[in-house]
Chain A
Amino acid sequence: MRLPRIFRTTPFRLTLLFLAMFSAAAAAFLAYAYLATAGEVNRRADAEILREMNALEALYRRGGASALNQALIERAVGERPFLYLLRDKEGEKITGSIEESPVEENEPGENWTTFQVTDTDMDGAEVKRTARGMEERLSGGELLFVGADVSQSEGFVTGIVRALWGAGALVILLGLAGGVAVSRNVSRHMAGLNDTIAAVRAGDLKARARVRGARDEYDELAGGLNEMLDRLERSMGGLRHAGDAIAHDLRSPLTRLRARMEAALIEVEAGKGDPKQALVQALDDADNVLTTFNAVLAIARLQAAGSAPDQTLFDPGQLAADMAELYEPLCEDKGLDFKAELVPRLTVKAARPILAQALANVIDNAIKYTPPGGAVMIRVRRRSSGEIEFSVTDNGPGVPLDDRNRVVQRFVRLENSRNEPGSGLGLSLVAAVAEAHGGRLELDEGPGEYDGFGPGLRVALVLPRVE
């Protein structure tokens, strides 16, 4: 049989656990309180009984059985709170306020017992009360029993115990009710989150959990869930966009490739045209398709991985110096002034080969778009925030403010760059690399316009500080 849902919730189970723990603690407390109170009450009664017994024994020793008898009669009249029974050697009652001894067997020495006495109250009804007493054989062979009514103190202890039981029951009841309430509350919040998850699972990627603004852990959870869904939606969108973009960008060179080969085939069949030329051309086209494909794949892999794999700690200045060394001759060949300003002994955590590729793309762009006579500068520094910044500044035509967000997108190539070779994926890859390291890509204006150059472009790859 399945329990109702409420009993299967975690808060309810936790409540039960705490109740169990509380009950155990309360039971232990109860037992201790009972033992302490009841013990004390009995001890006090026993002490009084013992004192009375001693007093009576002293009397007996001084005046014999008759003096004792006398005293007992007096005391019974005087309404002392004790119960007495004096019996002779054979066990026959001589005098006393009770008829029979509650002590079952007369053994030598003190014989303690707890027993019930039947009494009549003021209305004449019979009441049973608890009493306690002891019997001793006197030196003359008589048996003397002294007892005391302990029902009052007994009642006191019972009262306490009952109160404790009551309180315990109340606490358990309240606890259960509280558990149910808390469970209901949690379930209600969870139901909202579960609804969202169910909606997303059913295909509605736009479903979001409600954030109530209470800033509690449910809001935190809902916020986290929403953020995750945002990211998922973005990456799904990115994937769809990438798919479209690949289709778009691969379709044209593939179409061209196919058309060229078809035309070449017709020409060769007709006995004219150069088959070798056609094949060389086809190979070129195929290589272009592959280059584009590889770039798209690299971006997709980075985005799918979330964070770059195999990150290590290394000196960013060293990497930049290596890249500078690789590209410096290219700059010189093109008549560009090349500078590197690298702060030494910094530390960055990154996947070195991937970061190298990103830097290469940025430097490559700068060299490609800066006209001869211009300048390219590569820089590595640590920002005051602790972030590590790689930047490449050129004084080429730059990118207009409105286009800066656009050039990072896949396959976006600005009008004036159509003549340059390139897939239009360079900066997209850099942005993907930055994101895969928890960093970002920043595009700014370069040094401004002067001497016919500029305004230039400053591309900065900012990576988070190393803790």
Chain B
Amino acid sequence: MRILIIEDDLEAAEAMARGLGEAGYDCTHAADGAAGLTAAQKRGFDVLIVDRMMPKMNGVEVVSTLRREGDATPVLFLSALGEVADRVDGLTAGADDYLVKPYAFPELIARVEALSRRRETGAVATTLKVGDLEMNLIARTVHRGTTEIDLQPREFQLLEFMMRHAGQSVTRTMLLEKVWEYHFDPQTNVIDVHISRLRSKIDKGFDRQMLQTVRGAGYRLDP
């Protein structure tokens, strides 16, 4: 997996490259918007990490230029601004995800992972299958093996998200953003409670536990 980091803060970029390198990603760095755009235009990257505020060309311009040129490489937008308007700006420019600085490393890795795998599961599926867990998106039913599992609408959405990102770590913040569509810090462990409910429905009575807790990061659904 090749990642292009477009970020003018050299120290932050270096730390990011080191951390992503540890996680097995091959990182290239561009120190300003114009250089980043030139590098991105050569293609060959799986994910672009773009800082919002940079000299020469800001992140929004870089992303919207790439999108105009038909480049669909997933983009993770980084910004010190967390306001709703800024988030909307970034996403309308064509970014696929948005992360507010400062971020926890597991959060960054989880999001990059989610973006880099997104392409592989691009086709529209009517069923999702992870191990012996099967979800029918049309009938909105879930089976594990032969047992039918009864889920509340939100639990269904939560499981769908976990299944689409099976084998990847997803963070609590990602779940809150993607499943509940809230962008705030809920302070307490609300997400944990929802996960433990879901876990009791899909894993209880089975030998193999599919829904794993990843220390310091979040959760992962294993096949």
Interface residues of A (CB under 8 A from B): 287, 290-291, 294, 301, 309-310, 322, 325-327, 329-330, 333, 351, 353-354, 356-357, 360-361, 364, 367-368, 421-422, 426
Contact = CB atoms under 8 A, between A and B. Distances in A.
B188 A310 contact: no
A430 to B, nearest CB: 12
Interface residues of B, number: 21
A356 B182 contact: yes
Dominant secondary structure of chain A at its interface with chain B: helix
Dominant secondary structure of chain B at its interface with chain A: loop
Nearest to A331: B193
Contact of A360 (B85, B186, B196): B186
B138 interface: no
Contact of B194 (A287, A310, A329, A356): A329
A364 B184 contact: no
Given A326-B186, A329-B190, 18 more contacts: A294-B82, A309-B85, A322-B180, A325-B154, A326-B182, A327-B190, A329-B194, A329-B197, A330-B188, A330-B193, A333-B193, A356-B182, A360-B184, A360-B186, A361-B187, A364-B187, A364-B188, A421-B187
A357 to B, nearest CB: 4
A309 B187 contact: no
Contacts of A361: 187
A356 B185 CA distance: 11
B104 interface: yes
3 cross-chain pairs, A with B, having the tightest CB-CB distances, nearest first: A357-B184, A329-B193, A330-B193
Nearest to A361: B187
B120 interface: no
B84 interface: yes
15 contacts: A287-B104, A294-B82, A294-B185, A309-B83, A322-B180, A326-B180, A326-B182, A326-B194, A333-B193, A353-B84, A353-B183, A356-B184, A364-B186, A368-B188, A422-B187
A253 B82 CA distance: 23
Contact of B84 (A309, A326, A327): A309
B184 A353 contact: yes
Interface string B190-203: 10011011000000
B84 A310 contact: yes
Interface in B169-217: 180, 182-190, 193-194, 196-197
Contacts of A351: 84
Contacts of A287: 104
Nearest to B198: A329
B70 interface: no
A156 B53 CA distance: 87
Contacts of A426: 187
B102 interface: yes
A333 B85 CA distance: 36
A294 B185 CA distance: 10
A333 B189 CA distance: 11
Given A294-B185, A357-B184, A326 B190 contact: yes
Given A326-B180, A364-B186, A368-B188, A290 B84 contact: no
